[in-house]
Amino acid sequence: MAVLPFLLVGGFISLLFNELVLTVSFAVAASLIVALTVVPTLASRLLMVRRSSGVRNVWFIRQFDQRLQGVTWRYGQLLGWVLQRRILVIAAIFLLLGGSSALMVRQLPQEILPKIATGQANLRVQFPPGTTLAENRVVMTAVDRLLLEQPEVEYAFSTSGGSLFGSSTSENALRGSSTLTLVSGTDVEAFSDRMSSKFNQFNLVKTRLRVSPGEVRGLILNNSPVRGDVDVILQSSDPTLLADAGEQVLAALEAEATLASYSPDADPPQPEVQIRPDWERAADLGLSAQVIGRTVQTVLSGAVPTQLQRGDRLVDVRIQTPTALIQNPTELAQLPLLNGGNQLVRLGDVARIENGQAPGEIQRISQRQVFIIEGDLSEGASLGAALEEVDRVMKNVQLPAGVTRLPSFSAQSNQAIQDGVGLLGGLAAFLVFTVMAVQYNSLIDPLVIMLTVPLALAGGILGLFITQTAIGATVIVGVVLLVGIVVNNAIILVELANQIYEQENCDRLTAMLKAAPQRLRPILMTTVTTVLGMFPLALGVGQGSEFLQPLGVVVFSGLSLATVLTLFIIPCFYTLLHRDASEGNASLPFSKGNLL
């Protein structure tokens, strides 16, 4: 029931973990069927076998059993002492855990999803306007040579003049990229920061070289238009004003921000020769837009007057205009145009030819032009801290009138994660409480059992704080699973206490003092098996284990602390809420020589 909220709540969290939730749900359902059918059948057959394996007579097993009996006896004695001071113990535990958890949770970093080590790093290069493909290749060759000299780089795949992925290509003389495959065990974030600092020493004018850790392709964390971790988006109806404001904000971020490196998402404006026809003059001379356009297109792109046959295929013969003519406005002005009267008219007579700039890329959100700045987190930086840093920098930037800043998509996704912790955790706790209330036909026992949840959450927060693990989507899954797991110990404890209370007609205190030592062994068995199963996941051993490591940390630390406290706090709440007049005369129902 604890994982059911994931199927009820939408969003990318549900889409991301639906398979995990369904797997856990079907596995638990299958284990329940096996426990109710196969296990009793096998037990009834195996218990009829009179021969014994003799394992209990092994020295190690015998010693372990004796030590466990001693621990059980001491636990019963300590529990009796605690129950006599239950209000003081409850107040001390909740004040200590509540206060420390409130302080620790504020210092925890935040993220959407953990960074997954793919063993690769990506280099993105952005060249200034006017860069030719030949110049691009010179720089990328030098960059490629430097990358291959690094001991961490196993091999590199570099492209000049655009990017390549699969069968799709993107041609752009102002772009270059390189995909680096690193030696196993390399700290990708440290390598990326070191190489970015080294590339900054190149002092290439208006050329941006940035190395970032490789990402899992197809894993989209939010609906942000950028691929980086942080986005700053400005919007305006005036393109010139928007570009100036974007450069102003970018300069402020580069000067003051330390938790992320920032760059414009789009290419800068490109120089071009602009032909602006005078349509009235062209009409007077008998020139149509079609004639002018076709002639200019032929000059710019060339023409294919014929084809050559090479074997069984035809090859285009393309006639092109020299590049120097295309880039020279004076020469273009002499371009002849043939009007309807078969008269030649120069292009300069019907059009104004001048040098100008064209936007490298026009970006729009909701049909309005925007200027997008993307940022990649530095090593060790958290998303929450980087977003706060951006807000501090933006408070000192005075945007021109008519330019507004749109809400950050990264901030919205991060806030949705933080809200999801409370929402999904609350739904899981409510469903578990409802099921138990129906089964017990009471509200007191389910309430006692559910009091293990805050203890588990305190343990989870402590584990996240010690390991400095960020709160993200994976932590939400861990919290929900923890809610469903941690109540099991309290259920078996309360259930046995109720059975003893009804069968022996004793008071609640005596019933709990009898039930708790008897349930110590199964509680420890179930807890140890679960905790040891989560321990490798919490360690994050192996490449790609970072994705589920926060889940392991939450369950491991939360269940460990909650189990220890459940053995004392749940009996305190049970006897306090079920308090009766005769409990003051109760005595310890066992001795060291006669353990129940």
- The stretch 207-223 carries a mean pLDDT of 69
**Confidence (pLDDT) at 591:** 46
Reading the block at residue 487, the tokens are 């109540």
Q: Cα 201 vs. chain centroid, distance in angstroms?
A: 32
**Confidence (pLDDT) at 228:** 67
Q: What's the N-to-C CA distance of the chain in angstroms?
A: 33
Q: How far apart are CA 198 and CA 147, in angstroms?
A: 11
Contact 487, 449 (CB under 8 A): yes
Q: How far apart are CA 68 and CA 558, in angstroms?
A: 24
Residue 586 in this model has a pLDDT that exceeds 70: no
Residue 363 backbone dihedrals phi, psi, to 5 degrees: -110, 135
**Confidence (pLDDT) at 533:** 83
Dihedral sign, Cα of residue 140, residue 142, residue 145, residue 150: negative
**Confidence (pLDDT) at 582:** 42
CA proximity to 250, closest of 407, 411, 392, 390: 390
Residue 154 in this model has a pLDDT that exceeds 80: yes
Residue 326 in this model has a pLDDT that exceeds 60: yes
pLDDT band at 588, cuts 50/70/90? Answer: very low
Residue 400: count of CB within 10 angstroms of its CB: 13
Burial 195-216 (b: 16+ CB within 10 A, else e): bbeebeeeebeebbbbbbbbee
- For 99-126, how does the pLDDT look when each residue is reduced to its tens digit (9 = 90+)? 888 888 888 877 777 777 777 888 888 8
**Confidence (pLDDT) at 506:** 84
The CA-CA-CA angle for residues 19, 21, 26, to 5°, reads 95
- The stretch 125-154 carries a mean pLDDT of 85
- The stretch 461-480 carries a mean pLDDT of 83
Domains, the chain: 87-113+414-585 (1.20.1640.10), 120-269+361-413 (3.30.70.1440), 272-305+313-357 (3.30.2090.10)
Q: Which residues contact 18 (CB under 8 A, 6 or more apart)?
A: 6, 7
In the numeric block, the tokens 């060759």 are attached to 141
Q: How far apart are CA 212 and CA 318, in angstroms?
A: 42
Residue 584 in this model has a pLDDT that exceeds 70: no
Contact 429, 483 (CB under 8 A): yes
CA proximity to 493, closest of 456, 528, 527: 527
Residue 122: count of CB within 10 angstroms of its CB: 18
pLDDT band at 579, cuts 50/70/90? Answer: low
Residue 405 in this model has a pLDDT that exceeds 50: yes
**Confidence (pLDDT) at 420:** 67
**Confidence (pLDDT) at 220:** 57
The CA-CA-CA angle for residues 496, 498, 504, to 5°, reads 95
- Residue 344 β-bridge partners: 338
Instruction: Choose the weakest-confidence range: 225-229, 293-297, 337-341.
Output: 225-229
Residue 309 in this model has a pLDDT that exceeds 80: yes
**Average pLDDT over all residues of the chain:** 80
- For 349-377, how does the pLDDT look when each residue is reduced to its tens digit (9 = 90+)? 888 888 777 776 777 877 788 888 888 77
Q: How far apart are CA 147 and CA 471, in angstroms?
A: 34
- The stretch 244-255 carries a mean pLDDT of 86
Contact 152, 183 (CB under 8 A): yes
- Residue 234 β-bridge partners: 371, 405
**Confidence (pLDDT) at 593:** 44
Sheet with strand 168-182: strands edge to edge: 153-165, 168-182, 120-126, 208-213
The CA-CA-CA angle for residues 371, 372, 376, to 5°, reads 155
pLDDT band at 520, cuts 50/70/90? Answer: confident
pLDDT band at 204, cuts 50/70/90? Answer: confident
Whether this prediction's pTM lies above 0.75 is answered by no
Q: How far apart are CA 244 and CA 485, in angstroms?
A: 56
Reading the block at residue 538, the tokens are 């919490």
The better pLDDT of the pair 23, 422 is held by 23
Residue 560 in this model has a pLDDT that exceeds 70: yes
